[in-house]
Every structure is written in structure tokens, then in C-alpha cells.
Amino acid sequence: MSQPAIFITGAAAGIGRATAELFASRGWFVGLYDVNEAGVRELAQKLGPRATCGRLDVTDAAAFAAALAQFWQASGQRLDLLFNNAGIVAVGAFESIPLARHHALVDVNFKGVMNGFYAAGDYLKRTPGARVISMSSASAMYGTPDFASYSATKFGVKGFTEAMNVEWARHGVKVMDILPLFVDTAMVRNFEMHPKSMDTLGMGLVAADVARTVWRAAHWRWWPRVHWYPSAQGWFLALANKLMPAWFTRLTTKMVSGY
């Protein structure tokens, strides 16, 4: 039996890279795909024969399909896990960010996930026990000031995950997402501005923490579970969001974000 295989978007750095390193270290075949082709080639060389790589812009549906076709052959014709990790962010007041950048967030963060599902569907259905895990965000709990478009795209990923979790259950494909708070990665450290919410909530996660959550979700065998929170803080906020009235959640959001 061939080794299990994971296809990772946004694999050159941060959460994608940490996830690739973890899964490869535990015997999985990893597919490394990113717009940063040099980055994934360097990582593939480090990981050795358990890795394949290629350039992928997730907004290009045809390129996504071609990358998955190449990966399917390299992996011994299996796709145990599609990890939709690629994403971009823009921080600041909505009107201070160019409209084209808002559109780019939708294209990468949401349409890119849809492209992945569409291109991977047949391969997942042909792999017993296959799963899809997508990166959402704690900003999908309640619309987040200074992250308006980013938050909206992550709400989209969350809703899409819930729908596909139900739809693809008949095919034996489990669909889940990860909703972290601020993660100490280059993308977060290089925000265009420093949001007050980051000071309030802190940056208590690193990429390896999220990678370990992806690993747990990929191997979960018990009751149905769709949404995964890498920290106790995130889990508590999600619970509070469900239990508290909407006015209280809005007030808390204003206080946390400095509005």
C-alpha cells in the first residue's frame, strides 16, 4: 500500500511549510504548491523523495486542475488530504485599502478554495477516507474591523466548509476547517498596520501549533467535527460567540478592535 498523500497550497512558508514538514516527518507524501516556486523547490529538496512541488496560483482554476493531475501521478494515484492553506490579507480601514486588493482577497481566499474543491473532487472520491481541510480564521466568528474583506472571505470558507461537509458525506469525504487567532508568521508580522486587536488578543500561536491541529483533524475518528480551533482561547471565544447575544458580541468586538 502506498503512503498517504497530502496536497498543500501556500506551502512555501508559514503554516503551509510547517504542515508539510510535520506530515513528511510522519511518513506522508507531500505536494508543495505555491506562487513562490523557488520556495517550494527549496523545501522539496529538503524533504527528499517524499515530496513533489510546483508553482500554483490558486486563482487559476485550470492551473489548479493541472497541478492536481501531476500530483495524482506522483503520489501513486491517491489524495488523502487537500489542505487549502493559501491566503492573503489586507489590514486597515476598508476605504484605505485599494478596491483591487479587496477583490484579490476574495479571489485567493475564497475562490481559491472553491477551485481546489472543484479540481480535487474526483481524486478525493477515489481515495478511501479522504478529507479536505481549509484555513478559515477566528475572524469568521464575527465580522472583524480592520479586516473587513479578509473576515468576509473567511466567513465564506467557513460556510462553504459546512455545506460541503454535508454534501460530500455521501462520498465518504470529510470536510473541515481551521480557525486560528493571530499566528506568528511572516504574513502577520508584516501587516500594513498594527491592529489593536492583535495587542488585545496577543499572538500566542506559531505555525507548528496550527500544523499539529491539521494533523489531528486529518486523523480524527470519533464524532463528526467540522471546525477546529488551535488554541483554548479560540475555542472559548467561539463558545462565547454561540452563547452570548449578538449585541454583546458586537460590543466585545468594538472593544477588542479599539472602535
Single-letter residue type at 49: P
Alpha-carbon distance of 115 to 59, in angstroms, equals: 7
Alpha-carbon distance of 254 to 259, in angstroms, equals: 5
* Contact of 135 with 85, CB cutoff 8 Å: yes
Single-letter residue type at 231: S
DSSP H or E run through 9: strand 5-9
Which residue in 118, 123, 142, 150 is the catalytic one? 150
Catalytic residue flag (residue 142): no
* Contact of 142 with 164, CB cutoff 8 Å: no
What DSSP state is assigned to residue 44?
A: H
Helices (H), the chain: 14-25, 37-47, 61-74, 99-105, 112-125, 148-167, 186-189, 196-201, 207-218, 232-243, 246-257
Catalytic site positions: 150
